[in-house]
């Protein structure tokens, strides 16, 4: 009986050791949460990821702001997509080399990433990092939002994690989904 108790205690101690090791690993990974958001939905998810991971937040912003009116914004976005534009951005992540994991968030614009997100992705060397997309949409779902993201990193030394998708109307109730997605990434 004594032997059994001792063995159980040993197994329990091993479990504690293993989970501490995992927590240590997650704590040591330096996380950046970069996002583009025109009407605020993607920003809600970005802030949630930041609160779960303890990472730094960076807003991807075009130097030339998008029109505040929806129709005008969609037209500008469409033109940029059709011309494969790379709009100039405000600001830069000066310490990108420090990050191990970079979450990149954006709304679905015309079935894919807004073009400033491509400017952002092409501005840095992500070799050796894990990049993870997250996207909000207005009913169209994923479309090419994640496949186009993955294409940017084909033949590079970055690892692309599974993306998180959320409709714009349900970002405020996505807390637990965000938490379990981040857990499933095993960072
Ligand atoms: C320019 C533009 C294009 C859009 N295109 C799509 C689309 O193709 N499919 C879709 O489901 N939603 C589309 N939407 C809706 C947004 O993806 C959705 O509202 C998103 O949650 C907005 O995120 P944000 O508040 O972070 O900007 C579009 C919105 C805009 C402004």
Q: Which of 108, 112, 117, 134 to mutate to test the pocket of ligand 1 (most atoms within 8 A of CB)?
A: 108
Instruction: Give pLDDT, residue 28.
Output: 76
Q: Which of 78, 137, 142, 143 to mutate to test the pocket of ligand 1 (most atoms within 8 A of CB)?
A: 137
Instruction: Give pLDDT, residue 3.
Output: 53
- Six-digit token pair at 37? 């958001």
Instruction: Give pLDDT, residue 127.
Output: 98
Domains of the chain: 30-185 (3.40.50.360)
168 close to 41: Cβ distance less than 8 angstroms: yes
What is this structure's pTM? 0.88
Question: Is the minimum distance from the CB of 42 to ligand 1 under 6 angstroms?
Answer: yes
Q: How much distance in Å is there from the Cα of 106 to the middle of ligand 1?
A: 9
pLDDT tens for the chain, 187 residues long, are 555 444 444 444 444 444 343 444 445 799 999 999 999 999 999 999 999 999 999 999 999 999 999 999 999 999 999 999 999 999 999 999 999 999 999 999 999 999 999 999 999 999 999 999 999 999 999 999 999 999 999 999 999 999 999 999 999 999 999 999 999 999 8
Handedness of CA 164, 77, 153, 28 (dihedral sign): negative
88 close to 119: Cβ distance less than 8 angstroms: yes
Instruction: Give pLDDT, residue 15.
Output: 44
- What's the CA gap between 10 and 1, in Å, rounded? 14
- Six-digit token pair at 172? 């405020």
Instruction: Give pLDDT, residue 19.
Output: 39
Q: How much distance in Å is there from the Cα of 142 to the middle of ligand 1?
A: 11
Minimum-distance ligand 1 atom for the alpha carbon of 139 = 11
Instruction: Give pLDDT, residue 27.
Output: 54
């Amino acid at each position: 009986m004594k032997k059994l108790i001792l063995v159980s205690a040993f197994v329990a101690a091993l479990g504690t050791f293993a989970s501490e090791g995992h927590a240590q690993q997650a704590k040591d990974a330096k996380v950046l949460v970069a996002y583009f958001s025109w009407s605020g939905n993607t920003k809600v998810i970005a802030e949630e990821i930041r609160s779960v991971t303890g990472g730094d937040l960076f807003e991807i912003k075009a130097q030339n702001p998008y029109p505040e009116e929806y129709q005008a914004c969609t037209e500008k976005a469409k033109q940029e997509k059709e011309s494969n534009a790379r709009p100039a951005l405000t600001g830069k992540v000066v310490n990108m080399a420090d990050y191990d994991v970079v979450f990149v968030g954006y709304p679905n614009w015309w079935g894919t990433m807004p073009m400033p997100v491509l400017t952002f992705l092409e501005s840095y060397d992500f070799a050796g990092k894990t990049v993870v997309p997250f996207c909000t949409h207005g009913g169209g779902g994923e479309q090419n939002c994640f496949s186009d993201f993955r294409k940017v990193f084909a033949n590079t030394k970055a690892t692309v994690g599974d993306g998180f998708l959320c409709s714009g109307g349900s970002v405020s109730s996505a807390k637990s989904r965000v938490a379990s997605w981040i857990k499933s990434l095993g960072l």
